[in-house]
């Protein structure tokens, strides 16, 4: 361990990271001991779960306090994506896995191009399945990952680090900022280097974990909630939701085909047979089928209306008989 630590310290020193503060998390709230769980190892199973549940309940309020900053982030992401940019998440460990998860869910849910929302994790694909120590501690690797992803001034880059101190993430957002990308940080510590390194900082202060330093717990939950908000609100703003329905999904399996028909039935007030017929004429595009039925037009004209309306169904039907 001594040789490893020495080698790692040498690599980080060359990258310009302060070891006492950046690497070893001095003063980090997420690394502190939780006074409410000091004797958790003496509790019964039910008592352990009650303590965990009580701590988890604090996450919602911590995220709520950051809603104005989350809204600012969404507005920036929408603006970038509306002009041909991408949303890129960068993280390590649990934070990185959460970013990759959120990115991976966008294509099946909202029919987005595979690269529109992208997740980068320190260590790449192998790090999704197992812990790869050390790579997250080198800022240059974060910089290289952002460069490899082709980040530019059209993109929004979100750095994820529960501690706010992960060198890989700090290197990534620093390089993203140099490239002109909008930068957003999601961390559970303020002050922290990540907060100082980004255009918009989102900091749900969830406090010490049930097990000290186990940031896959409250901090991970907070990050997951924030990511859900950013991607979902962005897709709503981009017109991929009508009412509260995911009308831009691609019906590629039995469940999704049934969901697509059911949405058309509910919104347009038609039979299952009419919904299936409209979906077929629309080449399995739910939004096109809806505009056809609600706007009383054919598939070609429905697509043109959607194009002029920038993909927003409510605009495309132009005052037609909309069921709300």
22, 31, 136, 143: the catalytic one is 136
Would you call 87 helix, strand, or coil by DSSP? strand
pLDDT, one tens digit per residue, over 90-99 is: 999 999 999 9
Would you call 297 helix, strand, or coil by DSSP? coil
Residue 42: which pLDDT band, with cuts at 50, 70 and 90? very high
Residue 55 designated active-site: no
| CATH number for the domain formed by residue range(s) 2-237 | 3.40.50.10490
- Residue 316: pLDDT over 80: yes
Overall fold of domain 254-316: Helicase, Ruva Protein; domain 3 (1.10.8)
Would you call 121 helix, strand, or coil by DSSP? strand
Average pLDDT in the 286-304 region?
94
* pLDDT value at residue 26: 53
Average pLDDT in the 104-124 region?
93
Of 6-15, 159-168, 279-288, 313-322, which gets the smallest average pLDDT? 6-15
* pLDDT value at residue 318: 74
Domain boundaries, the chain: 2-237, 254-316
Query: What residues contact residue 120 under an 8 Å CB cut-off, 6+ apart?
Result: 88, 89, 90, 91, 96, 99, 100, 145, 146, 149, 172
* pLDDT value at residue 179: 97
Residue 273 designated active-site: no
- Residue 118: pLDDT over 90: yes
* pLDDT value at residue 324: 37
Rounded to the nearest 10 degrees, how much is the dihedral formed by the CA atoms of 166, 172, 177, 183?
-60
pLDDT, one tens digit per residue, over 237-261 is: 999 999 999 999 888 889 999 999 9
Same fold: 2-237 with 254-316: no
Phi-psi domain of 236 (left: phi exceeds 0; alpha: psi -120 through 50; beta: other): alpha
- Residue 200: pLDDT over 60: yes
Of 1-15, 107-121, 143-157, 177-191, which gets the smallest average pLDDT? 1-15
pTM listed for this prediction: 0.85
Residue 321: which pLDDT band, with cuts at 50, 70 and 90? very low
Alpha carbon 33 to its chain's center: 28
Higher per-residue confidence, 94 vs 18? 94
CA gap 170, 92 in Å, rounded: 11
Average pLDDT in the 228-237 region?
97
- Residue 319: pLDDT over 70: no
Q: Which of 200, 194, 84, 212 is nearest to 142 (CA)?
A: 194
């Amino acid at each position: 361990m001594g040789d490893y630590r020495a080698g790692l310290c040498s690599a980080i020193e060359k990258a310009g990271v302060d070891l006492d503060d950046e690497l070893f998390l001095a003063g980090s709230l997420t690394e502190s001991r939780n006074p409410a769980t000091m004797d958790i190892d003496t509790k019964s199973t039910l008592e352990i779960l009650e303590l965990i549940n009580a701590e988890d309940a604090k996450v919602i309020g911590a995220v709520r306090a950051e809603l104005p900053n989350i809204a600012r982030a969404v507005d920036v992401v929408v603006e970038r994506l509306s002009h041909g940019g991408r949303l890129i998440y960068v993280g390590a460990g649990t934070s990185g896995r959460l970013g990759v998860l959120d990115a991976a869910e966008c294509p099946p849910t909202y029919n987005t191009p595979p690269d529109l929302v992208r997740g980068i994790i320190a260590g790449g694909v192998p790090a999704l399945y197992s812990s790869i120590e050390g790579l997250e501690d080198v800022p240059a690797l974060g910089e290289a990952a952002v460069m490899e992803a082709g980040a530019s001034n059209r993109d929004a880059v979100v750095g994820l680090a529960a501690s706010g101190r992960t060198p890989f993430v700090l290197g990534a957002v620093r390089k993203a900022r140099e490239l002109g990308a909008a930068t957003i940080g999601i961390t559970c510590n303020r002050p922290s280097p990540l907060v100082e390194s980004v255009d918009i900082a989102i900091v749900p202060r969830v406090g010490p974990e049930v097990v000290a330093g186990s940031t896959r717990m409250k901090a991970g939950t907070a990050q997951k909630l924030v990511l859900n908000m950013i991607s979902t609100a962005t897709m709503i703003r981009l017109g991929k939701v009508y009412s509260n329905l995911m009308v831009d999904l691609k019906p590629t399996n039995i469940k999704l085909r049934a969901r697509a028909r059911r949405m058309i039935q509910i919104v347009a007030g038609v039979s299952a047979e009419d919904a299936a017929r409209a979906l077929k004429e629309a080449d399995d595009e739910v939004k096109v089928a809806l505009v056809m039925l609600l706007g009383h037009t054919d598939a070609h004209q429905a697509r043109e209306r959607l194009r002029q309306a920038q993909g927003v169904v409510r605009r495309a039907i132009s005052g037609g008989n909309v069921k709300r």
